[in-house]
Structure 1
Amino acid sequence: MDDQNKNLILATALSFLVILVWFVLFPPPEPTPTPNETEIATVEGNEVQTPSAAGTGTVGEATTATEETLPDEQAPRVEIDTPRLKGSLSLSGGRIDELFLKDYKVSIDDGAPIVELLYPVGSESAYYALYGWAPGAGVGGADVPGPNTLWTVEEGEALSVDTPITLRWDNENGLTFRRVISVDEDYMFTVTQSVENNSATEVGMAPYGILARHGIGEDGDLPGLKNFFILHEGVIGMADGTLTEIDYGDVRDFDIDPNERAQAEVFQIKEDGWIGFTDHFWMTTLIPEPGTAFKAAAKFDPRRNIYQTETVLPTLTVAPGATEEVTTQLFAGAKEWQTIREYQAQGVYKFIDSIDWGWFFFLTKPIFWLLHNINVLIGNMGWSIIGLTLIIKAILFPLAFKSYVSMAKMKELQPQMEALKEAAGDDRQKMQQGMMELYKKEKVNPAAGCLPILLQIPIFFSLYKVIFVTIELRQAPWFGPFQDLSAPDPTSIMNFFGLLPWAGPQPESLMALIFIGILPLLLGISMWLQQKLNPAPTDATQAMIFAWMPWVFMFMLGGFASGLVVYWIANNTITFTQQYLIMRSQGYKPDVFGNIKSSFKRSSKADDK
């Protein structure tokens, strides 16, 4: 591979990085959420009708005058309190609609509030889970609890790990509905719905679960959503081994009949699956029992701006005097690798795929596994990233050795290549032919230096995905001012690189692009040192471009996650050390600082021309 092709590879990698930086620095704007309203929506083609999860406290189409209802803000609530969760559920509809994550704060600032995942109806961005029964044979809509039905607490006072609660509602026509809700020590709720038939008639009905989210904008915008192109936010589901990811904006594009009230995409799941909504670090998921056939749907009501995911289980026939029940689960919490992995081990089918591993999942999964286990041993994510870099470099060392040996030989041939260029003048074909003959004579393979670069590109993007997506890197401290490795470097000359106790410029500001932190500076220096060991391009213009590239990258990557910059600094430093020692072992003694002078001479000659 000649210098021109190598430059093409580097230019391609640079182009990818430019795109990444553009989306980091200039994300799409967030529109104002739209208000909520009550509506009934149906999934086209369903044999049963499921009500919309929407409810504002008024009597909707799913309720009747005989059903007791209250405005949601007036409805009694049941407290939720576990080691990792706190919140409450509303007896209006029995909605799980207020949930805080005790272990996570919205920022690293002192006094920052903890993360709120679910919001009640009437909030700016309502987000909640709702369960119920869709009426089947022998049952009318008035005979099943609706989204605004006022339940009573039959057993329990507050929901905790050791104390489940039981909700009850009688339809006054012989049917008694109960809902037993329990929660574990992490993020999994178990919901057991039952119906007791004390009437003289056989009835049929289908249990369902709904997750609803209000107020998301036309482009899928909502406060808290990132809208970053490498991150999936929206509907996520598993259907018999097939993972489905649908962005909020794409949900709005589902085909819709003008006579229908909602547009939907339905998934028939034969045995194993789940469906829900996923954000950057948080997720809610409806999980029927493993081995259960059910129908899942992603739904959007364009008139009310409400998104729903739902699961509808097969219709149950309840004979007179009989009781039928069904148990499902609800995950509502942080996408922690270890926690989700344990739920998968307990039977949630391929639940680990709910984490957004990306196209390079075959790299991101093992890279994260290795990083996680190093962090378990070290207890510091910054040093773990450096340890991961050492391991990756050790794995790639056999290829790197051949590359660096080739580069040492190429550096030795630099004077002869310069002579060939002067002899060929403007005849590029003659120059290329002379170089090929020189390579053949000296037994040098210029392509040997390309493979490590090609391997490094997917590894870099995979690690970027891991650092950006996984919650384990969120607000992960290193040392000193570096208290969040998922955020850009907080230091700059404005706070003397973290020595003074005030913050630097905001990451999204123009000042942050100019007054960069200590990590981007170290990155530029490490790239520049590494470049001095590589053969310089024979073309003066290319030499000038390569001379400026480290400093361009230094400013470009100033807004990237500091954990990624730490990886790149460590990678460059290890690469420089390996290459320097290997080149010396091959009889070539690199004069790094001498190369500075020669590079400036070439640049000045190019300027003179």
Structure 2
Amino acid sequence: MDDQNKNLILATALSFVVILVWFLLFPPPEKPAEDPNAPVATTEVTSPVAPATPAATPGQSVTAESASDAPRLAIDTPRLKGSISLQGGRIDQLFLKDYNETIAKDSPTVQVLSPVGSDNAYYALFGWAAGAGIAPEGVPGPNTVWAVESGSTLAPATPVTLVWDNGKGQTFRRIMSIDDNYMFSVEQTVTNAGDASISLAPYGVLVRHGEPKNAKKFFVLHEGTVGMADGELTETTYGDLEDLDYSEREGARADVTQVTETGWIGFTDHYWMSTLIPAKGTAFKSAIKYDERRDIFQAEAVQPTQTVAPGATISAKTQMFSGAKEWEVIRAYEDKGVEKFVDSIDWGWFFFLTKPIFQLLHFLHGFIGNMGWSIIALTVVLKAIVFPLAYKSYSSMAKMKELQPKMEELKKAAGDDRAKVQQAMMELYKKEKVNPASGCLPILIQIPIFFSLYKVIFVTLELRHAPWFGWIQDLSAPDPSSILNLFGLLSTPVPGPDSIFAIVSLGILPILLGISMWLQQKLNPAPTDATQAMIFAWMPWVFMFMLGNFASGLVLYWITNNTITFTQQYLIMRSHGYRPDVFGNIRSSFKKKKT
């Protein structure tokens, strides 16, 4: 590979970086809502707003401590444990039985929802917004104390029913059920025993007090609100929510979308998500809000206003997903009618690559049973797919190596006349039928594949806390070993991941990565330009330090990829008559350093 080819590689890599930075700094504008302040129905209703502090009855303010003392109803399923506060009928305490905060044996289970009064309170509310014929205090609000009509523990086989009578002729019921995974079903009913018709709009609200303290705030990962409105996915970060325009109608910074048939709205974290899903075919107003006075985020699904005649009963159904973003589980819900629910996982710009790459990795894991070996198998499959291009590339590189002496003669004959050198080389390439740019094909292909695999490993839950073998017990985390304590032989403490010295605390995998890149580089001729030669000589070791704190799964992929590439290139070059003396190149490089 000559200077022109090296320059092309550098230009390609720099172009990719420029495009990446451009998209980060200047993302494409989102399509604005057609009418953000349009009402969801013809009758005016009051939009649900979470209270700053809970109240025992409408209008009566109390302290947050009294909310924590309210009666509770237990939630116990094969995968969830928590409780419902009868104050407001809030689903506000939820733990994931299958997931722990860390890989330590005594690590607590992950908590998804938490009640008012706790750090970063996060909970779900359901209710009715008052319309014509009924006062706001006549409907159950966020602080109404409900009674249990049936059931004692919410479980897959035992739904529970809450009831509240407003004393003015209307009785409200809330029937809650749950499946074996993470889907709640909430059916709200209103029975009107009064003398006149009333109008109400059912709603569900997810409330988040403040931005999550454990938010990653990394450009590769989306955290904030996520929603689907008639097939169109929307994602809004917490920072963008804080920058929304203030809406007089909503009483907060808000963005409102009218959903005509199918959709959902909620909050997504790195691995967990809570989402409101109105019944399929039901129009609703999807709203995301930020109340800066109280630092409260909300995701709302307000269904159309219904009229209840005297003696009649009406109902409204909403599902709520709250749990782990497991691909198989979410895909099963999508198959049951939750439109494009798999898109709630943050597949990113290269979704056309990340989705199939993850599905292939998931399939291999189901067959192999170990995520580390599955990543290695995935790398082998990907290399096999692009092998025809690689073969053409390495064949061209072998021919370029054979032409190296002739190229050196051309340079000596032309002297300092660069134009003459370039013209002579182009004639030589044409005569020998060599394309110098073909050597760049594997690199061009590898860039989006690498980025897509990085996205898959960083974002998907299936890699979280997934062990490989030995010291690698979490492929989504950096290699825990360190050269600073001789990889565990010494008891010397090593810098943590947040330390500025973490970059020098290299583990075994990053070191193997640097060596594999260095060996691969020895198959290629060194650039004749001194500056380029120095850059390429340092590149393996720069990457070693740069990727030292990346997820172990990604580093494992890169090592496997380099090893396969080295083997392919070596064998293909030999098949074309060129016998690379890799170890001779290594010995000569050491001799140059000594002299």
TM bracket, shorter-chain basis: over 0.9
Q: After alignment, is 509-518 or 308-317 more displaced? A: 509-518
Deviation string 1:437-481 (CA, Å, 9 cap, x unpaired) is 221222211111112211110000000000000000011100011
- CA 1:574/1:15 → structure 2, altered by over 3 Å: closer, same or farther? farther
Number of residues paired by the alignment?
Answer: 575
The CA distance in 1 between the partners of 2:505 and 2:408, in whole Å, is 39
Q: 2:323 aligns with which of 333, 345, 350?
A: 333
| 1:84–1:185 CA contact under 8 A, matched in 2 | yes
| 1:237–1:244 CA contact under 8 A, matched in 2 | yes
Partner of 2:9: 6
Distance apart, 1:56 and its partner CA: 2.2
| 2:52–2:294 CA contact under 8 A, matched in 1 | no
| 2:93–2:113 CA contact under 8 A, matched in 1 | yes
SS of 1:297's equivalent in the other structure is: strand
**2:381 equivalent to 1:384:** no
Q: After alignment, is 346-355 or 512-521 more displaced? A: 512-521
SS of 1:332's equivalent in the other structure is: strand
The CA distance in 2 between the partners of 1:252 and 1:129, in whole Å, is 21
Deviation string 1:104-163 (CA, Å, 9 cap, x unpaired) is 111112211111111101112110000000011111111100110000111011111111
Partner of 2:181: 186
The CA distance in 1 between the partners of 2:445 and 2:488, in whole Å, is 35
Distance apart, 1:604 and its partner CA: 9.3
Matches within 5 A, 1:316-355: 316-355=306-345
Distance apart, 1:257 and its partner CA: 5.0
Q: After alignment, is 419-428 or 108-117 more displaced? A: 419-428
Distance apart, 1:54 and its partner CA: 2.7
Which amino acid in 2 is paired with 1:188? Answer: M
Distance apart, 1:427 and its partner CA: 2.5
Deviation string 1:152-186 (CA, Å, 9 cap, x unpaired) is 11101111111111000000001000001111111
Distance apart, 1:80 and its partner CA: 0.8
Distance apart, 1:7 and its partner CA: 2.5
The CA distance in 1 between the partners of 2:566 and 2:154, in whole Å, is 58
Q: 2:54 aligns with which of 51, 54, 57?
A: 57
| 1:273–1:288 CA contact under 8 A, matched in 2 | yes
Distance apart, 1:259 and its partner CA: 9.2
The CA distance in 2 between the partners of 1:77 and 1:260, in whole Å, is 31
Distance apart, 1:351 and its partner CA: 0.3
Partner of 1:233: 223
Q: 1:130 aligns with which of 108, 111, 125?
A: 125
Deviation string 1:298-317 (CA, Å, 9 cap, x unpaired) is 01111111010101111111
The CA distance in 2 between the partners of 1:402 and 1:410, in whole Å, is 12
RMSD: 2.4
Q: 1:365 aligns with which of 348, 352, 355?
A: 355
**2:264 equivalent to 1:246:** no
Q: Normalization by structure 1: what TM-score?
A: 0.90
Partner of 2:199: 204
| 2:56–2:87 CA contact under 8 A, matched in 1 | no
Which amino acid in 2 is paired with 1:392? Answer: L
SS of 1:558's equivalent in the other structure is: coil
| 2:48–2:203 CA contact under 8 A, matched in 1 | no
The CA distance in 2 between the partners of 1:472 and 1:202, in whole Å, is 52
Distance apart, 1:396 and its partner CA: 0.3
Q: Normalization by structure 2: what TM-score?
A: 0.92
Gaps of 5+ in 1: 21-42, 217-221
Which amino acid in 1 is paired with 2:55? Answer: T
Identity, in percent, stands at 65
- CA 1:178/1:383 → structure 2, altered by over 3 Å: closer, same or farther? same
| 1:54–1:306 CA contact under 8 A, matched in 2 | no
Partner of 2:555: 565
SS of 1:384's equivalent in the other structure is: helix
Matches within 5 A, 1:146-545: 146-216=141-211, 222-256=212-246, 261-498=251-488, 504-545=494-535
Deviation string 1:362-393 (CA, Å, 9 cap, x unpaired) is 00000000000000000100000000000000
Distance apart, 1:45 and its partner CA: 4.6
Distance apart, 1:415 and its partner CA: 2.2
Distance apart, 1:589 and its partner CA: 0.4
The CA distance in 2 between the partners of 1:129 and 1:503, in whole Å, is 43
SS of 1:311's equivalent in the other structure is: strand
Which amino acid in 1 is paired with 2:313? Answer: T
| 1:49–1:135 CA contact under 8 A, matched in 2 | yes
The CA distance in 2 between the partners of 1:205 and 1:357, in whole Å, is 38
Which amino acid in 2 is paired with 1:341? Answer: R
| 2:56–2:145 CA contact under 8 A, matched in 1 | no
- CA 1:460/1:599 → structure 2, altered by over 3 Å: closer, same or farther? same
| 1:57–1:73 CA contact under 8 A, matched in 2 | no
Distance apart, 1:51 and its partner CA: 2.5
Gaps of 5+ in 2: 24-35
| 1:418–1:538 CA contact under 8 A, matched in 2 | no
Partner of 1:101: 96
SS of 2:548's equivalent in the other structure is: helix
- CA 1:15/1:548 → structure 2, altered by over 3 Å: closer, same or farther? farther
SS of 1:224's equivalent in the other structure is: coil
- CA 1:73/1:66 → structure 2, altered by over 3 Å: closer, same or farther? closer
The CA distance in 2 between the partners of 1:212 and 1:360, in whole Å, is 31
| 1:543–1:599 CA contact under 8 A, matched in 2 | no
The CA distance in 1 between the partners of 2:543 and 2:480, in whole Å, is 18
